[in-house]
Amino acid sequence: MPEPSSLQDTRNQTEAPLLGAIEAGGTKYVCAVARDPKEPLLEARFPTGEPHETVSQALEFFRKAAAAHGTIRSLGIGTFGPARIDPVAADFGTILTTPKPGWSGFPLVAALRQELGTDLPVTFETDVNAAALGESLHGAAKGIRRVAYVTIGTGIGGGFLEDGRLLHGRLHPEIGHFAVPDLDAAFGKATQVCPFHDSCLEGRASGPAIAARWGKPGHELPDDHPAWELEADYLAIACQQLTAAWSPDLVLLGGGVSQKSGLVERVREAFLRRAGGYWDLPPVHDYIRLPALDQQAGIVGSLILAARAL
């Protein structure tokens, strides 16, 4: 169970059904209960470990939350991927092939329902889709029709919304595995950390890629380090590909890496250079932006997913 300092009881609401939520990130789990998605009653954060240990911590949180606030009526999960999010699929709720040790093939929804109840309504989405949903209803994307959300952290993921509806194909979007050119050579580097592809966005521009390339994590690199010119160029390529493929009204860059001071401005400059004036777009400072909910977007979105499950 998380340390007491990571457990926060914020309100004492009683009027609406109690919602449960998990933002199942590759680095950390965030669990919460709420009656209003914008106002969690109880929240806990703990590192993402091996599957059974991590699920056990989540279940302990929900047991304590239920004792304090009543029966949890639905659950929303935003998970790292890839994951089977199709509710009619036989393996719905399962983590698919992932480089995260021990998680490939893990039946996350089934493991949670085993204790929380087999009939518990569950909405299962990617963590990026959950964050995109949170921003669409309560953050930087509120009132905007077509939104692309890209998160850059342990991995790179993406989500699309149109008129408040999450968009899927057979699987969920996998922006992190867009093919990108090798820009490392110009910096005398040769970094590609994805075990599945020769040169994809996640392999070149994720947090682990930055650390592998420069020998230290991004938060330890100064603002004027050449790492950020290269990072911005990779992310600008992703924005260019998103624009060409779908032409959203807004691209949000979330996740821990995106919070680096000055990075979004560098991405905008690189995007304008690469776009070449071809697309009819809003001003770049309106088109490529940071989220408004910061690190709360994922858990707020997961609580919205729980509300939609009812």
Supply the pTM of this predicted model: 0.89
Regions of the chain with pLDDT less than 50: 2-6, 9-12
Domain ranges in the chain?
4-129+295-309, 143-291
Task: Report the C-alpha gap between 138 and 298 in whole angstroms.
Answer: 12
Q: How far is CA 295 from the centre of its chain?
A: 10
- CA atoms within 13 Å, Cβ hemisphere of 2: 23
d(CA 263, CA 131): 20
Residue 284 is predicted with a pLDDT of: 97
Separation of alpha carbons 123 and 32, rounded Å:
15
Around Cβ 158, how many Cβ atoms within 10 Å?
Answer: 26
Q: What CATH topology corresponds to 4-129+295-309? A: Nucleotidyltransferase; domain 5 (3.30.420)
Asked if the 143-291 domain carries CATH number 3.30.420.40, the reply is: yes
> What is the H or E stretch that residue 303 is in?
helix 297-309
Q: What is the per-residue DSSP string for 148-207?
A: EEEEESSSEEEEEEETTEE--SSS---GGG-B----GGGGT------SS-SSBHHHHHSH
Which residues have CB under 8 Å from 173's CB, separation 6+?
Answer: 128, 157, 158, 159, 160, 167
Strand partners, 200: 179
| 143-291 has the same fold as 4-129+295-309 | yes
Residues 6+ apart with CB under 8 A from 110: 93, 94
What pLDDT score was predicted for residue 81? 85
Q: Are 87 and 76 in contact (CB under 8 A)?
A: no
Taking the mean position of all CA atoms in its chain, how far away is CA 184? 26
pLDDT at 10: 47
Strands (E), 63-145: 72-79, 122-126
pLDDT at 9: 47
Tell me the C-alpha to C-alpha distance, in Å, between residue 190 and each of 70, 182, 211, 238, 289: 54, 8, 13, 19, 29
pLDDT of residue 14: 56
**What is the token pair recorded at 151?**
């998160």
